[in-house]
Amino acid sequence: MALSTSVRRWTQRPSFWGFLFVTPWLIGFLLFTAGPMLTSLWISLHKYDLHTMEYVGGENYRRLFSKDPLFWKSLKLTVTYALFSVPLGILGSLSIAMLLNQKVRGIPLFRTFFYLPSLVPAVASAILWQWVFNAENGALNLGLAIFGFAGPQWLQDENWALPAFVLMSLWGIGGGRMIIFLAGLQGISETYYEAARIDGASPWQQFRRVTLPLLSPVMFFNLILGIIGSFQTFTSAYVMTGGGPNNATLFYALYLFRNAFEYFKLGKASALAWILFVILLAITLVQFGLSKRWVHYEGDSR
Amino acid sequence: MKKTYRDGHPALRALVFVVLLLGSAAFIVPLLWTLSTALKTNEEIAQDPTRLIPAKPTLENFPEAWSALPFGTFVTNTVFVTLVATFGTILSASLVAYGFARFQFWGRNALFYTMLATMMLPGQVTQIPVFMIWRTLGAIDTFVPLTLPALLGGGAFNIFLLRQFFMSIPRELDEAMLLDGASYFGIWWRLILPLSTPAVATIVVFSFIGNWDNFEGPLIYLNSPENYTVSIGLRMFQDTFGTNLGQLMAATLVHITPTIILFLLAQRYFIKGVAISGMGGR
Amino acid sequence: MVGCRRIVDCPPDKVCLRYMAWGNPEQLGVEQEMIDRFNGQNPDLHVRLFRVPGSAYGQKMVLMLASRTAPDVLRVDHYNFPALAAKGYFQDLTEFAKKDTGFREGDFFPTAIDEGKIGDRLYGLNALFGGVIMYYNKTLFKQAGLEDPYELWKRGEWTWERYRQTAKALTRFDAQGKPRVFGTAIPPFPATSVAVWGFGGDLMSPDMKKSEVDSDGTVRAYQFLADLVWKDHVAPTPAQGANSAFAFESGKLGMTFDWMGMTPRFRKVVKSFDWDVCPTPKGTAPRSNVIKGNQLVVSANSRHPEAAWRFIRFLTSEPTETRLCAEIRRAFPTRIGVANSPAFLKTDQAPFNTRAFVQSAEGGRTLPINERWGEWTQIFNSEVDNLLAGRERDARTVLRRAKARIDAALAEDPGF
């Protein structure tokens, strides 16, 4: 009797339910994610080529930091890429989302057109982009020529290859991030704008006082995911430039992949992975700390 | 371009329309090239790859691509995996996100950050250990590794996104329902989900497209050609001795058509949530 | 229920083997044809083909080998062969070869057999063997009034300098100075080794512990190649050549060095001009052509190594090679007999200079491939790319730097 009462008391606590709802994820995590993550940390403390394994402690990390110029080059260019593509991407996708939030004839069709580039699978996309960036007769340089500019060599030029990738990332501003912003915009009730208009707010003030704050949870999401995603850029570099020219597009994830699957230096690759992990974790924690100042959750009064 | 017009101002609406038109044109150009390549013969692709309008348009690439590989089987497999994974993702991700968004429990923040952290470790180094786990479970060459994770949360990305949306829904609505005697499940099913239609539609679109286009997963876990998905089939057109561009583009176009249709259909769910407004002025 | 489908594909009374190879749909169709023939001739065995997309083959193969789920028979690219063999992934085939009375090493080209050996143990049988050969556009040659290069080669006059002169005569620019036809193109690595060896240089020391890329011959070779692009303007720059703008099949390229296995593709795609093949230019060293194959191996975790050996023997047998190499021309035969057979030498469609294939193979050397190949070639190519892309003009400086970096990497403990 006492058992069923205490059970009933447990099931009446909201925290029990909250935990219960989270368990599907927790099970999956414990079964499939936690082990492999810890395994890779373990491997990073070893020399491992899929055949022999030898404990070396922090040697992989020490060598990366002190004896590997490619590590620093790769990290630096990946950070540069993130610094440009993330803010530009958020700005761009927000603008397009606002554009596509209008009540205009055929808006579903327009939204589809903007989203189309994101629907093309990676391989076809890479071939497409190689054509766009073709220095002689690619779409981009032809377009620039119309305005009288001589376009650079893009993917064959050490200084322009990374900017090319930033440009390419902007093509995705009609993509996933935009959709998320759009969903967010759609979730802002009209009554807020009406109230603001009644108070005499201009469109810009409406944007600043209503749209931005109510959009902030979604903006925060795009920011975090944007940073994580940009640091993990891989497929486009692998297919289009192979890291060149002269390692100008040797993205961190590509360098990691090479060490793992082409050189079989799995200890080093795992160390690279965990260094990235720590960097991303640090950035995310900082963002979460800062978010208390500018992210506004309507439904969270705590 | 940060305007927030609602109705009215026909001149400005026309301006918006023009901008939309120009923007669409710019974004659609690469796809037009895909279409034009798909309609070219292989000789023409070799001779003049950058020309937009084919000199001798042909439809031969489409049936050739279809018959070169058992695409019928591939499509069936892809549809199965995609539907199961998408459906599973919506159910489990929204449930987990609900837990994170609405409840306080011991270890909540730690678990949430851990969940986010799983997105921060590049997948290449966990690929082999994860593969070994599935192998121990005897799930290699089945669809289980591609579908079961969807039921176990559906991925940190989706959970995080839904959590953000759920936290934007005013708590007063929950409390009102609780006072009426609703269970937490009931609140989830009858309040949170319906109010999050745009977010859920977003997840459906992402999940569908993600699974439809997924290449790494099927590559690693599927061995028998009877189990292959369309994305693997597409990759076969690219080989070491030169890509058969015409067939690749034709197959690509057919492959993305369902996703385009889905996207168009999903648009009607991107409607404004009706009763989100606060009870009483804010 | 959630997708727990397992394909049961093995007839109960047979021993089942799985075979993994890469190829586009057409090439895999041919593989399947071979398999059907084998299954028909060997009723106690049943082979199933694993098709894996070529671009993801390496990753899938490594994953399967590392997890011991690899198919019984695999085709392994020779670039990866030594590294993977060193990890104990493959069966030692020496005993099978000894016991097999029908198998005689003398039937094969020495280079083909040696490639499959690690030390003196046999780990793989060579398939998709071949080398670099020069494809040339006969129509363009005729239009420029040039003599056929194969005739020149037979007379011993097809030297590197002659090659350069020919490229100059073939290159044409239009009125605005934009290129219409290029005489030749710089081949990708490692086909450039033809030039390196031709000029008397080398890539690696014989023990493969130090690189020789700064030797005089190598420097001369790379300077020659770079000058073709940047001084003589007879080969496209990387920007000009991007997106296959001057690919051989476009008819805008006079001569190109490529693998022998490209023949079926050119046969299919080239319709607007005549073409043929000819060995690469004669250099100062007696053997300077590149030859390379791919190894058929039996995975160490196979449960039927004997049966797998029978299958590999079939794939390298005379009838199979005749079909693959003589009829379809996807590769060059590893068997001396097939290479000199009428089936291989007689042909009714381009390329007609079939003996050139044999002469190229006989004049060929294998590349210095060992476990560190992936690492040092990555360094080498990223340096040489500076030269060939025109960012630097002096080959010696670039190659000296490359040597320093390669030697430093090779001296390091490979695990790091």
List CB contacts (< 8 A) between A263 and chain C: 374-375
Under the banding of pLDDT at 50, 70 and 90, the label for residue A200 is confident
Give the residue from C359, C290, C309 showing the smallest Cα distance to C149: C359
Distance CA C363, CA A237 (A): 38
What is the reported pLDDT for C144?
93
The pLDDT score that the predictor gives to residue A2 is 62
User: Looking at chain A from residue 69 to 108, which residues have their Cβ under 8 Å from any Cβ of chain B?
Assistant: 94-96, 98-100, 102-105, 107-108
Determine the pLDDT at residue C338. Answer: 93
Identify all chain C residues contacting B146, using CB atoms and an 8 Å cutoff. 3
pLDDT at A3: 65
To the nearest whole angstrom, how far is the Cα of A3 from the nearest Cα of chain B?
22
Close Cβ partners of B79 (under 8 Å, ≥ 6 residues apart)? none
pLDDT of residue A153: 85
Q: How many residues does chain B have?
A: 282
**Domain limits, chain B:** 1-58, 61-269
Beta strand C172-173 with C125-137: parallel, antiparallel or unpaired? Answer: unpaired
User: Is pLDDT above 70 for C2?
Assistant: no
Closest of B239, B236, B258 to residue B66, by C-alpha? B236
CA angle C145, C151, C157 (to 5 degrees): 95
Could you give the ipTM of this predicted complex?
Answer: 0.86
Cα B240 to chain centroid, rounded: 30
Domain positions in chain C: 15-130+291-366, 134-289+370-411
Domains, in order of start, for chain A: 1-37 (no CATH), 44-294 (1.10.3720.10)
Residue A82 main-chain phi, psi, to 5 deg: -65, -40
Report chain A's mean pLDDT, rounded to a whole number: 88
CATH number of B61-269: 1.10.3720.10
pLDDT at B148: 93
- Do residues C134 and C257 touch, judged by C-beta distance below 8 A? yes
Q: Residue C344: which residues within 8 A CB-CB, separation 6 or more?
A: C322, C325, C326, C333, C338, C354, C357
Q: Are B28 and A116 inside 8 Å of each other by CB?
A: yes
Spatial distance between the Cα atoms of B248 and A199, rounded to a whole number of angstroms: 57
Phi, psi of B144 (to 5 degrees): -60, -45
pLDDT in tens, C131-166: 999 999 999 999 999 999 999 999 999 999 999 999
Contacting chains of B (3 CB pairs or more, <8 Å) are A, C
Band of pLDDT at residue C8, cut at 50, 70 and 90: low
* C240 → closest Cβ in A136, A265, A267: A136
Share of chain A above pLDDT 90, in %: 45
Q: Taking CB atoms and an 8 Å limit, are C265 and B143 in contact across chains?
A: no
State pLDDT tens for residues C357-414: 999 998 889 999 988 999 999 999 999 999 998 889 999 999 999 999 999 999 988 8
How much is the pLDDT for B253? 85
Give the count of Cβ contacts less than 8 A between chain A and B. 318
Residue C75 has a pLDDT of: 95
Write the DSSP symbol of residue C298.
Answer: E
Which residues of chain A are within 8 Å of residue C86 when distances are taken between CB atoms? 51
Kindly state the percentage of chain C with pLDDT values over 90. 75
Overall size of chain C counted in residues = 416
Close Cβ partners of B100 (under 8 Å, ≥ 6 residues apart) = A18, A22, B108, B111, B112, B159, B163
Architecture label for domain C15-130+291-366:
3-Layer(aba) Sandwich (3.40)
CB C240 within 8 A of CB C389: no
Which residues face C172 on adjacent strands?
C181
Q: How far apart are CA C376 and CA C388, in angstroms?
A: 18
Q: What is the mean pLDDT of residues C308-331?
A: 93
Distance separating alpha carbons of residues B42 and C268, to the nearest angstrom:
9
3-state secondary structure chain B: CCCCCCCCCHHHHHHHHHHHHHHHHHHHHHHHHHHHHHCCCHHHHHHCCCCCCCCCCCCCHHHHHHHHCCHHHHHHHHHHHHHHHHHHHHHHHHHHHHHHHHCCCCCHHHHHHHHHHCCCCCHHHCHHHHHHHHHHCCCCCCCHHHHHHHHCCCCHHHHHHHHHHHCCCCHHHHHHHHHCCCCHHHHHHHHHHHHCHHHHHHHHHHHHHHHHHCCHHHHHHCCCHHHCCHHHHHHCCCCCCCCCHHHHHHHHHHHHHHHHHHHHHHHHHCCCCCCCCCCCCC
pTM: 0.89
The whole-number pLDDT of residue B89 equals: 95
Residues 66-95 of B with CB under 8 A from C: 68-69, 80-81, 84
Using a CB-CB cut-off of 8 Å, the residues of chain B touching A132 are 30
Nearest CA in chain C to B43: C269
- pLDDT score recorded for residue C1: 34
Residue C349 has pLDDT above 60, yes or no: yes
The interface residues of chain C toward chain B in range 319-358, judged by CB-CB distance below 8 A, are: none
Contact between B38 and B255 under an 8 Å Cβ cutoff? The reply is: no
pLDDT of residue A100: 86
A266 and B CB contact within 8 Å: yes
Which residue among C24, C66, C268 sits closest to B237, beta carbon to beta carbon? C24
Instruction: Express each pLDDT in C235-261 by its tens digit.
Output: 999 888 877 788 898 899 999 999 999
Across chain C, what does the average pLDDT equal?
Answer: 91
- Judged against a pLDDT cut of 90, whether residue C268 lies above it is answered with no
The percent of chain C in helix, strand and coil, each rounded to the nearest 5, is 45, 20, 35
Residue A228 has pLDDT above 90, yes or no: yes
Distance from CA of A168 to the nearest CA of B (A): 11
Query: What Rg value do the Cα atoms of chain C yield, rounded?
Result: 22
Q: Crossing angle of helices A59-67/A266-294, nearest 10°?
A: 80
The mean of the pLDDT values for chain B is 82
Positions in chain B short of pLDDT 70: 1-9, 46-50, 238-243, 271-282
Note whether C25 contacts B236, CB cutoff 8 Å: yes
Smallest CA–CA separation between C346 and chain A, in Å? Answer: 39
**Distance between CA atoms of C249 and A172, rounded to whole angstroms?**
34
Q: Which of B89, B140, B96 is nearest to B116 (CA)?
A: B96
Contacts of A108 in chain B (CB under 8 A): 264, 267-268
Q: Quickly name the fold that domain C134-289+370-411 has.
A: D-Maltodextrin-Binding Protein; domain 2 (3.40.190)
Q: What is the CA radius of gyration of chain A?
A: 24
- List Cα–Cα distances, A206 to A191, A193, A201, in angstroms: 12, 7, 6
Predicted pLDDT at C59? 87
Beta bridge partners of C77: C294
> Are A281 and B105 within 8 A, CB to CB?
no
Which residue in B has a C-alpha nearest to residue C5's C-alpha?
A: B142
User: B59 versus C228: which is more confidently predicted?
Assistant: C228
CB atoms C5 and B227 under 8 Å: yes
What confidence score (pLDDT) does residue A129 get?
Answer: 83
Q: Nearest-CA distance from B195 to chain C in Å?
A: 30
Question: Are the C-beta atoms of residues C268 and A164 closer than 8 Å to each other?
Answer: no
- Region C75-95: mean pLDDT is 94
The 10s digit of each residue's pLDDT in A74-131 is: 999 999 999 999 999 999 999 888 888 887 778 888 888 888 888 877 777 777 788 7
